[in-house]
Structure formats: structure tokens, C-alpha cells
Amino acid sequence: MQKLLKDSSLRPGVIRLTDQNFDNVVSAPRGYSLVVLLTAEAPQMGCHLCREFGPDYNLVAQSWHREHPKGGDGLYFGILDFRDGQKTYQKLQLKTAPNLWLYLPTIGDNAGPVQPFNYEIVGVPDVPGSIIRFIESHVSGVHITVYRPRDYSKVIATVLLGLVAVVGIKYIYPFVRPIIESRAIWAGISLVLVLMFTSGHMFNNIRHTPYVAGNRDGAVQYVAPGFSNQYGFETQAIAVLYAFLAFGAISLATKTPRLAYRTKQTMAIGTWCAVMLCLFSLLLFVFRMKNRGYPFSLPPMTK
């Protein structure tokens, strides 16, 4: 076993089994445990599951070999490919691949049955972990830690993307700087977010409230009764009301003082005050629709 393990240069930690050595390796008496993968990885065999399962099995075997570089220490991993063991496949009457078998020692304190245990190869998200649990459940005193090889391609790709981002920012920043430093754009974004959250957008997403609902009479109900519930349409309507009220307040504070003529200023102030009066009245009307006991009202929409 030590010689076979040293000869496994293509797959460190995995013994290459063939028709010539398979019987000698698995025959009793055995003083070691042996995990054998019977597979058919050649492309002409068309076994996609074999090519998918093989790397996970090699990862477990190489992880064990990393912790026991001088020998298997009572546990060895082997692989028998169909092209190297056609006679063995016929002898074992195997018609499908891959198969994973675990042979326990037949002599010693951990002796077990001569016949191997079969691992059920099923679709599991963590194949290496499943193989390890299978081995550890039958072989006492064995603990395998998976050592995954570092994927340097991801590190290189991350570094290259970072360099491209730095160069891109250097050349693009002069063009996007006016946008980033624009007070109007940030004020607009802030205003939109404030309107979304104050109108109940997050409430609807968390509660998954319907857009509208039907009442007892079968008619469409756009405003939900009570202050602890609301509909999607109601949220949008309140957001629009808040938006117009905010725009009116901003116009009164910033736009009307800049008008050149007093008459225009007076007309603009009167118009915006009338619009805001109606909008506030409509807003309080909606509140009274949700709760008839709401104590506040504002003409001209009081009923």
C-alpha cells in the first residue's frame, strides 16, 4: 500500500487501481481501511456524473494525504477507472458508475465485515462533506478536514478589476463630478426616498398588502379602514399628495421671492396657498376616511 501510494503522482493521495492489483489490495486479511471509487471518466464513456463526482472525491483523498503525507495511517483512497479495470467490472457485475465502496479492516481492533459498504451517490449540495461523514461513520478514530486549493484566478481577476476600476474612475470622474456634487440631484433623490418611506412603501413590502380590496358590497375599496393597515393604491396616492405639498412649500420658499413684480408674487403666493389648502384638506379627508373619530378637518373637504 505504501508503494502504491508513492506511485500515485498524478493524483496525490489516490492509489491507481487496475485489474492486476485490485484483488490483492481488497482481499482479506486487511489491516487497513480502503475507500474505492469505481468510475468511468473517459469522455467516450459519456458519464457526466463520474466527471462531476471525481474532483470532490480527489479533494477528500488529497486532504487526508496532506495531514498524513508519509502514509495512509490505516486509511487509503483508491480509484478504479473502467479503462483500467474492465475485467474487474465484469467480475463484480457492475453496470453503472460511479460507485463508492468502503472496505474495513478484517483484522485488528477495528475489524469489520469482508464485504464493503456502499455510499449512496445522490445530489447533495456538499459532496466532500457527505463523503467525509460516510467514512467517519464507519471508520472509528478518523477525522478528515477538507483543504480546498486556493483559486488564484479569482484573486487575479479581482486585482485586475480593481485596477480597471481605478483607471476608469480617474478618467471618468471629471465628467461625473458635476453630477456627484450637484445639490439639486441629491436633494431630489432625498426627497423621493423621504416620500417613499413616509407614505408607507416599506410597510407594504413587509406586510405584502394588496393594491386594492373589495368591501362587503362588492365595490372596490381604495383606502383601508384603520390606521394599522393600508393598500398599495393608498400608499401611492399619499405619496403624490406629499410630493405636491412639498413642491408647493419649496416654491413658496424659493421661487416666489425671486419674481420681479409684486403683482406676480402676490398671485403666485395666493395660488400656491389655495393649492396647498385643498391638498391639506384632501389629506385630512383621507385620514377621516380611515378613522371616523379623527378629530381634525379642514375646509373645503370636511365630509
Per-residue pLDDT tens digits for 60-92: 998 998 888 777 678 999 999 999 899 999 999
Q: Cis link prior to 295 (omega < 30° from 0)? A: no
Q: Where are the domains of the chain?
A: 2-138, 151-181, 182-290
Residues 6+ apart with CB under 8 A from 39: 47, 50, 53, 54, 79, 80, 81, 82, 97, 98, 99
Q: Mean pLDDT in the chain? A: 86
User: Mean pLDDT throughout 197-211?
Assistant: 85
Is the domain spanning 2-138 CATH 3.40.50.10490? The answer is no
CA dist., res. 54 & res. 95, Å (int):
18
Query: Sign of the CA dihedral 193, 194, 199, 203?
Result: positive
Residues 6+ apart with CB under 8 A from 290: 223, 224, 225, 226, 227
Say what the pLDDT of residue 99 is: 92
Three-class SS of residue 204?
helix
Is the model's pLDDT at 108 over the cut of 80? yes
Query: Sign of the CA dihedral 277, 281, 284, 286?
Result: negative
Calculate what percentage of the chain has a pLDDT beyond 90: 23
Query: Sign of the CA dihedral 274, 280, 286, 288?
Result: negative
What is the pTM for the complete model shown? 0.52
Is the model's pLDDT at 44 over the cut of 70? yes
Say what the pLDDT of residue 9 is: 60
User: Mean pLDDT throughout 238-255?
Assistant: 89
